[in-house]
Structure 1
Amino acid sequence: MTQAYITERVHARAPGKINVFFQVGAPGADGYHEVASAYQAVSLYEDVWATPSDEFTIEVTGTVQCSDVPLDENNLAVRAARLLASEIGYDAGVHLHVHKAVPVAGGMGGGSADAAAALVACDALWGAGLGTAELQRLGARLGADVPFALMGGTAVGTGRGDQLSPALARGRFEWVLVVSDEGMSTPVVYAELDEYRSGTGIYVPRAPARPAVYPMVLQALRQGDAQALASASDNDLTPAVLRLRPTLDDLINLGLQEGALAALVSGSGPTLAFLIENEQAALELQVALSAAGHNALHVHGPVPGARVLPD
């Protein structure tokens, strides 16, 4: 493909996600766990600007702590751009400016959102014209959460989380997120879960033979029923996260005392997602948690997946 491009700069945006339900199977022979998740994209976004360049370069800014974000080939957005260029035979590069609002290593898929936005931005910049299905296929090669960041909305993910089926969600769900400047390693959290499950005692849960999203979760989403979703939501990684970060337990109790319907660890943590009855109650909880010294954000979902915005 020639080095022609159809515009001087493209701005793309992709959302972070929360797992309103997350069930984890036992590790397979390759060390990976089969999962079943109900994802919801929420109104906390990663923005990527793509401009023509002879090389692949990246700069990162943000409203969150991003000093640990790699600025080389290890960055998922750079890998996404390179993968797309290879796929379409594009022989130049791109400069990516990533502005982050999703917590780094916070269990909300911020790196995957960067990759999704980079794919969409470079597709538009280079005039590749790949369809959604093709971009999702490429995204799955980068990580399990990338296809959902491209899709957005609400979806069920199985396998490694990348086999997606859209799920109907009526209305708008209100969430208050409490984020931390100190992220958590996903492999460490999964290893802690395996160790926890290997313990003895009647109260130690075992890995499900075949992870699945409970029908009551999908019904609550279809009905737009926050109360029902609060009763059905769960995350198998929660015990592992709390074992590694015990102080989160007090924060969960505080959020529930202040009116949250449910408290969820988002993905592999440490971000906590509190489900709230309505917008006013969410604002009140955000104020209460902020007054207690926590970094609390009010978001809502579901929202669309990665898309190009007017620059």
Structure 2
Amino acid sequence: MNTSILQRLRRLLASIIARAPGKVNRILRVGAPADDGYHPLVTVFEAVSLYEYVHIEEMPGTVDYIVTVCYLNQAEDPEATHIAAAIPDVDHLAMRALQALRPPATPAVRITVHKSIPTAGGMAGGSADAAATLVAVNALWCLGLSSDELQQIGRSLGADVPACIAGGVTVGVGRGDVLESIDDNVDHHWVLAFSYQGLSTPAVFAQFDRLNLARDLPRKHDIDLHYLTNDLAAAALSLRPELEEIGNVALEAGAQQWIVSGSGPTIAALVGDEATASRVRAAWALLPNVRGTCSVRGPVTGAELCEKLPSWARRCA
């Protein structure tokens, strides 16, 4: 969208909308924890077409506040909305992103986060909230920061935030937050299976350590992009054994490969076409541990401004 038009709209409406994609870790290799407790990673992120939308509006008063509305399959899910709304404002990554960029003497704002990425699902939903907020605040107050500068700020908020800003396919090293883009133009069809309960990332890493699963890390240029690999999968599956059935059912329905996304519990199956995606989703619908499914494409662009909210996102009074 033309920058001058956006600036005129901002002055008229004092509000702005941005979105950021979730991710699937096509490859996630994990080393032994360092002295600071963090595990070194080599990971390949692929941004996929499941988005978080953030609407920021300037408001009277001096107190910022945040509203979170959750959706399942792009339809409002009241039960999850209640759960998500219980997140304290100070802990919400969108609020932290606002505070990281806020210039002095700016008005109070309301942030409305429209979530379609499952909470604690291994797809960087919270990081996408932060990424979209950084892009929105940058435009709302005409800060003029580049994508690289926003990624650097995002690193202080969460390891996956830079990948959600960058989009596309990226290799992450360190904690996964130091990125290099990959020229990978292959269009992928993914089918996602969501669980009724999330998995805590620290709990999965702790189980990884208990099972002594750490391996030597490859050099990022030696990674084979054709095969899905996740060193955290064994730990996640040991905590949630039913996830393996979900993946195997996808293979029986025609999927090429499946993987636990990040620390789980979302299962991502790679399929060749929409017909196969439909078969996998139909098979998953019969499983008691699948809360919902979704077909997405990747790679997609990273966090960006939007003219309006999607039709499935309800406006909050």
Pick the TM interval, shorter chain: 0.7 to 0.9
Q: Structure 1: how far apart are the matches of 2:287 and 2:275?
A: 19
Q: Structure 2: how far apart are the matches of 1:103 and 1:188?
A: 17
TM-score by length of 1: 0.87
Which residue of structure 2 lines up, in the alignment, with residue 74 of structure 1?
91
Q: Deviations over 1:31-61 (max 9, x none)?
A: 0000000000001000000001332210010
> What are the equivalent positions in structure 2 for 1:1-311 lying under 5 Å apart?
6=11, 7-53=13-59, 54-64=62-72, 65-69=80-84, 70-85=87-102, 88-197=103-212, 205-208=213-216, 210-213=217-220, 215=222, 217-218=224-225, 229=226, 232-293=227-288, 294=290, 295-311=292-308
Q: Deviations over 1:226-257 (max 9, x none)?
A: xxx2xx21000000001100111221211111
Which residue of structure 2 lines up, in the alignment, with residue 201 of structure 1?
none
Which amino acid in structure 2 is aligned with residue 248 of structure 1? L
Which amino acid in structure 2 is aligned with residue 194 of structure 1? D
Q: What secondary structure sits across from 1:26 in the alignment?
A: coil
Number of aligned pairs?
A: 285
Q: Structure 2: how far apart are the matches of 1:36 and 1:250?
A: 27
Which amino acid in structure 2 is aligned with residue 23 of structure 1? R
C-alpha deviation, 1:68, in angstroms = 3.6
Gap regions ≥5 residues in structure 2? 1-9, 73-79, 309-317
Equivalent pair of 1:152/1:305 in contact (CA under 8 Å): yes
C-alpha deviation, 1:171, in angstroms = 3.0
Q: Percent identity?
A: 41
Equivalent pair of 1:35/1:212 in contact (CA under 8 Å): no
Q: Deviations over 1:252-303 (max 9, x none)?
A: 2111111111110000000000011222211221222224453221111001
Q: Structure 1: how far apart are the matches of 2:105 and 2:36?
A: 34
Equivalent pair of 2:30/2:214 in contact (CA under 8 Å): no
Q: Deviations over 1:122-141 (max 9, x none)?
A: 11111112111111111011
Which amino acid in structure 2 is aligned with residue 17 of structure 1? K
Q: What secondary structure sits across from 1:61 in the alignment?
A: strand
Q: Deviations over 1:98-137 (max 9, x none)?
A: 0000010000000000000011111111111211111111
Gap regions ≥5 residues in structure 1? 198-204, 219-228
Equivalent pair of 1:16/1:108 in contact (CA under 8 Å): yes
Q: What secondary structure sits across from 2:262 in the alignment?
A: coil
Equivalent pair of 1:175/1:299 in contact (CA under 8 Å): yes
Q: What secondary structure sits across from 1:282 in the alignment?
A: helix
Equivalent pair of 2:259/2:269 in contact (CA under 8 Å): yes
CA spacing shift, 1:27–1:8, aligned 2, 3 Å: same
Q: Deviations over 1:163-196 (max 9, x none)?
A: 0000112231001100113101100100100110
Q: Structure 1: how far apart are the matches of 2:20 and 2:177?
A: 16
Q: Structure 1: how far apart are the matches of 2:221 and 2:286?
A: 36
Q: Structure 2: how far apart are the matches of 1:179 and 1:191?
A: 22
Q: Structure 2: how far apart are the matches of 1:233 and 1:261?
A: 10
Q: What secondary structure sits across from 1:28 in the alignment?
A: coil
Q: Structure 2: how far apart are the matches of 1:235 and 1:26?
A: 15
Which amino acid in structure 1 is aligned with residue 117 of structure 2? V
Q: Deviations over 1:38-97 (max 9, x none)?
A: 000001000000001332210010214244431411100000001101xx4354332100
Equivalent pair of 1:66/1:104 in contact (CA under 8 Å): no
CA spacing shift, 1:235–1:90, aligned 2, 3 Å: farther
Output the aligned Cα RMSD.
1.6
